[in-house]
Structure formats: structure tokens, C-alpha cells
Structure 1
Amino acid sequence: MRKIFLLLLTALSIQLHLHAQGYQLSIRLKNYNSGKLFLANYMGRTTYLADSAEVNPAGEVVLKGKTPLYPGIYLIVLPGKQKYVETLIDRQQFFSVTIDTADLVGKTVYKGSPDNELFLAYNRFLFQQESLTRSITDQLKTARTAADSAKVAPLQQELGKKLQEYRHELVSQHPQAILSAIFKAMKEPEIPQKPEGEDSSFAYRYFKGHYWDEVELSTDRLVRTPVLEAKLKKYFSQLVVNMPDSIIVDCDALLARTRKSKEAFKYVLWWLTYNYESSPYMGMDAVFVHLVEKYYVPGDAFWLNDEQLNKIINRAYTLAPNLIGQQAAPLELKDTASKPVSLYKTKAKYTVLVFWDPTCGHCKTELPRLDSAFKASWKDKGVAMIGIKTEGTREEWLSFIRDNHLTGWIHALDADNSTNYRRLYDVYSTPVVYLLDERKKIVAKRLAVEQLNDFLERSGQKNTAAKL
């Protein structure tokens, strides 16, 4: 599937002008007297260049601009791009830092940046726990049995307790610091004891219901960190019911919480849209279409230019007619003898539509496999096969059907392109497979032979159970 949002990822990182005095980072490097230094920021797990400057012979470099940097975790990447120092950016954007490559944690010194003094102290604390962390890692690597792994548990609990206590103390003493916002977002809800009368789903419902409580979604301070993406990924992959209707409800609820921050809204909407446009799971395109219709069509995606916006909207309009649960678009075609073929006049318990090209390498592999499954079991289940030629000559088409003994199928084509099937069925590569029910409603699409076979088997078992 064409992933249009890979083309738009750079648009996400374009910064808006803010009304403030800009920024200036004065950096002194020990053991460097030339080269280029880079400043980058996180956007999820990816990093983007924010600024750069040459190091002077004294090992000094100044990064400055008239427009303030957005808050987040930034990387001061040293010349050669082999080493970097993570730096926090928030309200205070005029500060200096001295970096000694001999000890990036122990000898780095900030002046005029309380946020980074807190961050540096935390990193030094982590460095102090390195021996305990290494011991845990080594024991897990050599663990042979569950009992071996269980022996490591007390060490893991000890380390976890130390980290939580440190973070809790920092949040208590510096509640407004950006590092506190990061720590609060990283912490997961603590599930209380199940109240009397609650069922077994209480823990899940509580955890999901309080998952975003400590996450700053009304500011932009978490957008340029890896934290927000990690939270989104866990929430929508582990906590939200993997059904389009449920996902849509959670998408809308989450986006409503970001409305006070343009940057948070922009990032969350982009992440959701890309995630469900490119999802490998069948039916998730319904989420993509919903997001486009609710947020992009009215103009809420303020960061996109007209060309980018039109690409997204056109993609959604292409998918909308062929979503799971929709009635399949009518097809009036001609068969190999140029006689009329009508999708809706083809009566069958199930109809498998296959858009294919006799010159396509993948089609040459998949068509015989579909035919084998059809003759082995699908035909007995009341399945009708309709193969529709998309490319290639008439001679190539007829020759492939004959040479591969694709008998029992309805073979058809739209010689004069009157059905607009490419747009209605989103056919831009081949083969494309749809499964329709008795009323020609789309029940599955873009499935491999094995997945389609499993789907038909499950459907048959359900029908048998219903009759009993």
C-alpha cells in the first residue's frame, strides 16, 4: 500500500513562529577546535536537525535564533557525529554548557539552565546504578531456566524502586520542571485493590481509564521527546479494543485532550493518521477515513499545504467506497466471449473478486493458488469466483486462463473503462482480492489465500453453529 505519510513526515517537524525572544546556546567543547556541531530534537523515536554551527579554534560554538525552540529533549551532536549529549529545552533558552568528551556525564557543566542541572543530576544518578544494571543484564543473559530468571527479580525490584523514588522526589520538589512532566508521563497508573462487587475486568478498565491522567496533552512539552510516541503505541496496541469503532472513539477522545496545544494536536493526529493508514490489519482504513473526514476535510490540519492536504483527502475518498461493511460497487463487465457479466446478478453465498493482471509476477503465483483453494473447498461452500483483468492484452489474458486451467471462474474485463473499478475498489497494484457476502457486502479484502481460507472456514463454522 502506498504510504503517503512517509512523504509528509518532514512537514510535521516544521516549526511555527512564536512570539518571544529566541534562543542562544553557548557551548564550549574540550578537545575540539574545529568541525561542525549539530543540534537535533526528538520527534517520537526519530530525530530532526534543529540547528548547526562551526566550532571555532577555541572549541566554542554558539547556536542562536530569533525564534525560540520548541520544548523537548534535544541532542547536542559533537563533530564527527559519534557522540552526543542530551539536553532539555523549555522556557529558559539562553544558557551555556561545557562538554568534556573524556566524561560526558561527570564533567559536563551547565550554567543558567536549572532544567539541565536537574537532568544532569538524574543522569549521574543513573550512572551510579550502572553496576546494578549490568549485574541484572548479565544474569538475564546467562539465565537458563525460569528459576534463574526469578533470582534476578529482587535486583530488578530494587533498581525499579530506586528509580521511582528518585523520580517521585524530583516531581515533588520541582513540579513545574519539564523533567517532571517527562517522569509523570513515563509512570503508569497504579491499580488499587478491586472493590467489592467489581468484575475481573476492573484492573484493565482502571488502567485504561487513568492511562493519560499524568500525561501533559494540553502543552507541547512532550511532543519532542520519545515519551509521547511510546505512550501512544502502547495505548492503541495493548489497551484499545482492536475494532475500528472502538479505535475511532478513543482517537476522538484523545485528540479532544490535545486541543489546547497546537503541537500536541498536530503530532497526535499525524501519528494516528499514519498508524491507521499504514496498518497491516484489515479494516483499519476505516479509522483513517474517519480521521480525514473529521479533521482534515474541515481544515484542522493547519500545518499542511494544499497539495499535501489534497493527497490525504483524495486517499481517503479512494478508500471510503470499499471499507469493510460497505456495499460493493456495481460492476457491469464482459466475459471472455464478450457477453455481459453483472456482479449483482451473480448469485452466490460468497463472491471472491480478484483483480489481476496476466503479466504480473505476483498474480502468476497467486492465481493458481486461489484456484486450487476454490476447487478444493470454496466451491462446495457456495463461493463464486470472479476474476477481472486489469492490464495485459486479451491474448495474454486468455492464454493464462487456459494454461492454468482456471475453470469454474467468471472471467471478465472492463474493456472501455466504464465502471471506474480502480477508484471504487482501490486497485493500484495486483492482485487485489475482495470477499463479498450473499448481499454483496464487503466482509474482507486484501487477504492472502491462507487468510481467506481461514475466514471462510470460520464463517462456515458460525453458520453451522447458528443452524444447530
Structure 2
Amino acid sequence: MATAAAEYSCGDSVTPKELPLPAVPSSLTSPEERAGYIIAHFWDWMDFCDTLRSHDRTFMEQNFVNYISLFPHVKQEALAPNIRAFLKAAAADSIAFGLVNDFAEHYFDDPNSPMRDEAYYILFLEELLRQPGLSEHDRIRPTYRLEMARKNRPGKIAADFVYTDRMGNRRTLHTTWGKRLLLLFYDPACSHCSEILDELCKSPILDRLIAAKELTVLAVYTEGDRKLWNETKVNMPKKWNVAIDESDIVERGLYSLPAMPIIYLLDKNKKVILKDPTPAQLEVFASNEVQINFLR
């Protein structure tokens, strides 16, 4: 199992850091079936009213990480009812329930989380909002998080917006030409942005696609500081379209921009192919002729 916490002690005793895994019936032979059984019974040994455990952040975090590490191995249709049952059990104690929600947001939605997965986070939030005892106040944040997570999902048409490029031309996303469009939201004052944009700029595969006119890059600044943008736009790669937002993208919530830069790969119709991939994931996808016919 993945590791997030260490063994901890209470008084003179040492408490195991992980819940015991359920014994899988021998009749279940496929890896998917076995993982499905484990995830369905993962919390069987957990009494959320046992505050010695359920209020212990280290213990709860370790087991939450172990639990979600099983998600990729389980049939997708089985996840929602399992998450629902887990949340119903955790709701027996408000502090434990709060910890679970904190962990879900951190591991599924934090840009720096190695387990970040928007699809899983959407599932979690949907089931959270179905919990009957959730107060109106407690519904506010997950409702907003779910609304943002659902924006511009793969397979959907990306939200249109107006921009001005560094040559002074005013255009819209949907009228920007490109067989494939790499849409970047960036901040010139962000050092992490500079690192990622430099990595993209130096990518041989992306450079080859741009040169072959198979890929168009549109880098958009959304923070509204025109003086900063005007001072820094000349430093951006000449082969990229560099622009400033004219549609109040942040204020209107057109895109979820939790941390810059945010990357989208769009097809010629501006349908989202990839949402916020890492540069490495983008390169793998772009170089795979089976998945995306860039190089033919």
C-alpha cells in the first residue's frame, strides 16, 4: 500500500498504522474482482465512533491513501456505491468525516498530489453531496468544487473566450486555427510557470509538431496586469501565440485555474483531449500515433 503516515503510539501501546485487509474469497480469481472485494470491505474493521482512531489524522490519512490506491484496479461502476457506503460510515463522527473530506480534496485535487485525479474527485464530491445529513453550510464548498471540477472535461468543447495577442489582434479561442491546440494558462510572475513553459518549449516532439503545423500553441495570461504582460510578452517563445485574456476568465469561472500553469490539449473543433496533463504526459500522448494521429 502507499505510504502517507507512520506507526504511532498511545501511552505504552503501539497501534498498527493500517487496517487489516479483508480476506478475499478464493472464488474471486481475477485481479479486478479481488480488488473490488477488498475495496468493498476495506473499512469493515473501522469503527468511526472509536475516536482514538477516527480522530487521529495520521492513522486516518494512511488508511485513506491505502483505500484510494485501489481505485485504478476496480471497475468504475463499482466505485460510486463504495464511496457512498464509506462516506455514510464516516459520517457517524463529524471530525472523522471532516478529515475524510480534507484528504479527498488534498489527494484528488491538489496540483502537487501524485494521486491527483479529477474523475475520482468528481465521484467523491457527487457522493458527498448525496449524503442526507449534510447541512446547507457544509454543502457550499463541495458544491463549488464539483462545479469547477466539471468544467472543460475531456470530450467537452472548451469554453470560449476573447483574447488580444501580442501583435494587438483581438480573437477568440474558438476561431483560433489549429489541427491541435495546446492551450496554456500562465502567469509571468510565477517561477513554476517559467519552469514548465521552458520544459514545453524545449520539447523536441512538441517543437516538431509546431514546425509541421500539426500543433498550435496559445499561451494566455489571465491575471489582468497589462503592464506586467506587456513587459514580459517579448520573452515568450516566438513560435507561440501569446495573449492576454479579455473575457474575465477568472472572475467568470470559465476555467478552473487552481495553480499556474494549466494545460489543455484541444482538437480542431476545440474539444478537450487532455485536461491539465503534466509535460511528460503531454509528450507521451503527442508522440503516440495510435492515440493521436499527429505525425502522419
Q: TM-score, length-normalised on structure 1?
A: 0.48
Say if 1:230 and 1:454 are closer, same or farther in 2 by CA, change over 3 A. same
Larger RCO: 1 or 2 (CA < 8 Å, sep 6+):
2
Contact 1:370 1:449 (C-alpha < 8 Å) held by counterparts: yes
Structure 2 residue aligned with 1:241, among 63, 72, 93? 72
Rounded to whole Å, the distance in 2 between the matches of 1:449 and 1:210 is: 34
Structure 2 residue aligned with 1:206, among 22, 25, 34? 34
- 5+ residue gaps, structure 2: none
Name the counterpart of 1:327.
157
Amino acid at match of 1:322: N
SS of corresponding position for 1:259: helix
Root mean square deviation of aligned Cα: 4.2
Superposition deviation, residue 356 in structure 1: 2.0
Name the counterpart of 2:44.
215
Superposition deviation, residue 189 in structure 1: 0.9
Given the alignment of the two structures, is residue 462 of structure 1 paired with residue 291 of structure 2, yes or no?
yes
Name the counterpart of 2:23.
189
Say if 1:363 and 1:253 are closer, same or farther in 2 by CA, change over 3 A. closer
Name the counterpart of 1:388.
220
SS of corresponding position for 1:424: coil
Rounded to whole Å, the distance in 1 between the matches of 2:231 and 2:183 is: 20
Rounded to whole Å, the distance in 1 between the matches of 2:228 and 2:60 is: 52
Name the counterpart of 1:31.
none
Amino acid at match of 2:124: L
Question: Which structure is higher in strand share?
Answer: 1
Name the counterpart of 2:125.
292
Structure 1 residue aligned with 2:97, among 263, 266, 291? 266
Structure 2 residue aligned with 1:360, among 190, 193, 196? 190
Name the counterpart of 1:250.
79
Given the alignment of the two structures, is residue 410 of structure 1 paired with residue 246 of structure 2, yes or no?
no
Superposition deviation, residue 386 in structure 1: 0.6
Say if 1:433 and 1:258 are closer, same or farther in 2 by CA, change over 3 A. closer
Contact 1:352 1:434 (C-alpha < 8 Å) held by counterparts: yes
Q: Give the % identical residues.
A: 17
Name the counterpart of 1:452.
282
Contact 2:224 2:245 (C-alpha < 8 Å) held by counterparts: no
Say if 1:286 and 1:421 are closer, same or farther in 2 by CA, change over 3 A. farther
Rounded to whole Å, the distance in 1 between the matches of 2:104 and 2:164 is: 41
Superposition deviation, residue 431 in structure 1: 2.3
Say if 1:394 and 1:462 are closer, same or farther in 2 by CA, change over 3 A. same
Amino acid at match of 1:250: L
Contact 2:36 2:78 (C-alpha < 8 Å) held by counterparts: no
Rounded to whole Å, the distance in 1 between the matches of 2:235 and 2:270 is: 30
SS of corresponding position for 1:189: coil
Alignment of 1:10-159 (within 5 A): 75=10, 84-86=11-13
Contact 1:356 1:432 (C-alpha < 8 Å) held by counterparts: yes
SS of corresponding position for 1:430: coil
SS of corresponding position for 2:88: coil
Amino acid at match of 2:33: R
Rounded to whole Å, the distance in 1 between the matches of 2:155 and 2:115 is: 12
Superposition deviation, residue 398 in structure 1: 4.4
Rounded to whole Å, the distance in 1 between the matches of 2:35 and 2:227 is: 61
Superposition deviation, residue 429 in structure 1: 3.8
Rounded to whole Å, the distance in 2 between the matches of 1:85 and 1:282 is: 35
SS of corresponding position for 1:321: coil
Amino acid at match of 2:186: W
Given the alignment of the two structures, is residue 341 of structure 1 paired with residue 174 of structure 2, yes or no?
no
Structure 1 window deviating more from structure 2 (220-229 vs 426-435): it is: 220-229
Superposition deviation, residue 85 in structure 1: 2.8
Rounded to whole Å, the distance in 2 between the matches of 1:338 and 1:297 is: 48
- 5+ residue gaps, structure 1: 1-43, 48-72, 76-83, 87-122, 124-178
Superposition deviation, residue 344 in structure 1: 1.3
Q: TM-score, length-normalised on structure 2?
A: 0.71
Rounded to whole Å, the distance in 1 between the matches of 2:177 and 2:229 is: 25
Rounded to whole Å, the distance in 1 between the matches of 2:280 and 2:178 is: 21
SS of corresponding position for 1:387: strand
Superposition deviation, residue 291 in structure 1: 2.8
Say if 1:427 and 1:268 are closer, same or farther in 2 by CA, change over 3 A. closer
Contact 2:163 2:171 (C-alpha < 8 Å) held by counterparts: yes
Rounded to whole Å, the distance in 2 between the matches of 1:463 and 1:439 is: 15
Amino acid at match of 1:252: P
Structure 1 window deviating more from structure 2 (389-398 vs 346-355): it is: 389-398
Rg: which structure is higher?
1
